[in-house]
Chains A and B, each alone.
Chain A
Amino acid sequence: MIYRSPKYVVLSLAAAVVYYYLFAYFVSLENYGIVIYSEPAYMVYLLAVTASVLLTVTVYSLSLRLRRGIQTSSPGGFLASVTTVVGGCMAGCACQAPILYNLLYFFGLNAFEASGVVTTLVSYDFEINLALIVLNIVVAYRLLSKMTRIGGRRTTPPASAG
């Protein structure tokens, strides 16, 4: 339904590209300029695609809300960006992880504690990114279900019609 409109197809493609580069940007920040992923490339693409789908669904739901007053919108689009940023930070944890370390130092951890946290996060890198992908899908699915439910109720013609 959403993707029948070229606008949303374009939005989805554009968002996927932007999210991919946002992801790569964070990876390069973590790696002093080089883009090298600590997880399979398909995970990166999956995260970018699911984030873009979530953003598209959110924008569509927002348009429904504005157009028909259907209460379906959610902060899903924001979540898509967050998952991409977090995923980028995680996938960029290779030899160096300056963003994570400096954040942890900023919050008062010492080097021993910070390295423990980063090492743990890196060892669950794949699982964390998988969870982010699943989160994008689940939120998008819930949003779509809600729209279908509410939209279906609203668009059902009254029995007396016709």
Chain B
Amino acid sequence: MMTADKGTQGVRRITYLALVIGVANLIVISLLAVQLNSINRAVQSSQGSSTTTTTYTNLTATGADLIPPTSFADAPVITTVQPAGQRLTDLNEPFNSTELAVINGAPDSYFQTAGEMFLNNSLTNLVGANVVKGPELVVNGKPSVVYLGANTCIYCGENRWAMALALGKFGTFGQLFKGYSSLQDGDLPTVYWAPSRYNVSSGIVFGSFYNSTSLSFVTMEYQSPITDPVQLPSLAFLQQQATQTGSFAYTYSVDMIGTLNLYTGTPYTVWGRYIVPSADAQDFGNSSTTSTRFPLANLTHDQVLAHLSHPNDQFSWTQYAAADLYVAMVCSSISSTPPVCQLSAIQQIEHELPQASGGVSQVAAGNTTTSSSSTMAP
């Protein structure tokens, strides 16, 4: 009897020991996960807050802008009304003049208010990104904004609104198109720079309908089926496609992205001298961004534009604040000073950017600038 009790006790102890070992196993792996994350952050930090200086070669390119088609036969406008989450309603439909005016004519006061909110930390949604000062691509004598994104990507989708608002302060969009992130990546309403080839298994749409006297806009949008999960573009494929365009602006852009080793996915943007390797905000609506169902996904394009034309909530102010960061980078990179660059909020944000070595330099290939990099956060 005594032996049986001892045996039972022993078995119990061993079982508990086994359970503890199992749990410890989980904890160890979790710690490893955290460690891996730390390594990841350290690598990003070393790229983003280095005190050493790096010499970059600026690039200049000349040639006609790439104007994309206004429609694709294999990707017509979708007119079927569908519910949120499975919705491609109005996909590829061009913005009408009223809708374009929201982007092209956003008042400076909205940028100022949002900038103040960003600076005094009164925005709930996250605004900020690692900003690296890198080489500058000058296209046809103008500093460029380079965009590499994907038609299906959720971050590209939410960030294009801010990009469009920022670019609208330096020029005008002759055309914009209604789009979505993929059905399996949020199904967020977004703006496309050009119609999407949403049925192709793999492709790139180059160019936009943006006109500016102070900026060039070099856009590369990777295309994959809008109903599938997001696909990441391979830079080798992008390089091959860019070469086929015959445009130095595009081949140089891809070379620049490829040689800096900052690329971790899309969106990847360059604003004059500043590189932003990810979206500069997480603005998925008026609530937490960790949810798998984003408030923005329930809005139509018209509703998003209504928010942006009369900003009065976190979503719209965050979009303007995200645009402010981009505006500040451009203001810091161009020689002219459009009114938006004279806003106090923009000038304050400029001070948070990695310090520029001077005004814009329309230098020929081979000239160098000394650059440093830093992490910008609110």
Q: Is the C-beta of B30 less than 8 angstroms from some C-beta in chain A?
A: yes
- Inter-subunit contact B278/A15 (CB<8 Å): no
Cβ of B25 within 8 Å of any chain A Cβ, yes or no, is yes
Report the nearest A residue to B229, measured CB to CB: A38
Q: Give the interface centre of B26, B233, B284 by most chain A CB atoms within 10 Å.
A: B26
Contact of A115 among B153, B236, B282 (CB under 8 A): B236
Q: Is B154 an interface residue (CB 8 A)?
A: yes
Q: Is the CB of A101 within 8 A of B29?
A: no
Question: Which residues of the other chain, B, contact A56 by a CB distance below 8 angstroms?
Answer: 22
For A96, give its contact among B229, B264, B292 (CB under 8 Å): B264
Least Cβ distance of A59 to chain B in Å?
A: 4
Per-residue 0/1 for A20-46: is the Cβ within 8 Å of any B Cβ (1 yes, 0 no)?
Answer: 001001101100111110110000000
What's the nearest-Cβ distance from chain A to residue B366, in Å?
Answer: 22
Confirm or deny: B33 has a beta carbon within 8 angstroms of a beta carbon on chain A: yes
Given A34-B289, A59-B19, A94-B229, A82 and B29 contact (CB-CB distance below 8 Å): yes
Give chain B residues whose Cβ lies under 8 Å from the Cβ of A32: 155, 278-279, 282
A15 contact set on B, CB distance < 8 A: 22, 26
B26 touches A81 (CB 8 A): yes
Cα–Cα distance between A33 and B230 once the two chains are bound (Å): 17
Determine whether A11 belongs to the interface, using a CB cutoff of 8 Å to chain B.
yes
Contact B185 A99 (CB under 8 A): no
Asked whether A66 lies within 8 Å of B18 as measured between CB atoms, the reply is yes
**Is B231 part of the binding interface, using a Cβ–Cβ cutoff of 8 Å?**
yes
Task: Please state if A66 and B25 are interface contacts (CB–CB under 8 Å).
Answer: no
| A-chain residues with CB within 8 Å of residue B28 when the two chains form the complex | 81
**Residues of chain A lying within 8 A (CB to CB) of residue B75:** none
Residue contact A81 to B235, C-beta cutoff 8 Å? no
Cβ 8 A contact of B154, one of A39, A95, A98: A95
76-135 of chain A: CB within 8 A of chain B: 77-78, 81-82, 84-85, 93-99, 101-103, 105-106, 110-112, 114-116, 118-119, 122-123, 125
| Chain B residue with the shortest CB-CB distance to A29 | B37
- For window 123-159 of A, CB contacts with B under 8 Å fall at 123, 125
Of B114-122, B254-262, B326-334, which binds chain A? Answer: B254-262
Q: Are A63 and B18 also in contact (CB < 8 A) when A35-B290, A36-B292, A97-B264 are?
A: yes
| 15 A-B pairs in the complex with CB atoms less than 8 angstroms apart | A28-B290, A29-B40, A32-B155, A34-B154, A77-B21, A81-B26, A94-B230, A95-B267, A96-B278, A102-B44, A103-B40, A106-B43, A110-B261, A115-B235, A122-B232
**Chain A residues with a Cβ under 8 A of chain B:** 7, 11, 15, 18-19, 22, 25-26, 28-29, 32-36, 38-39, 55-56, 58-60, 62-63, 66-67, 77-78, 81-82, 84-85, 93-99, 101-103, 105-106, 110-112, 114-116, 118-119, 122-123, 125
Which residues of B line the A interface, CB within 8 A?
A: 10-11, 14-15, 17-19, 21-22, 25-26, 28-30, 32-33, 36-37, 39-40, 43-44, 126, 150, 153-156, 184-186, 229-237, 239, 257-267, 278-279, 282, 284, 289-290, 292
Of all A-B residue pairs in the complex, the 9 with the closest CB atoms, nearest first, are A96-B265, A81-B29, A95-B153, A119-B234, A63-B18, A101-B264, A38-B229, A115-B235, A66-B14
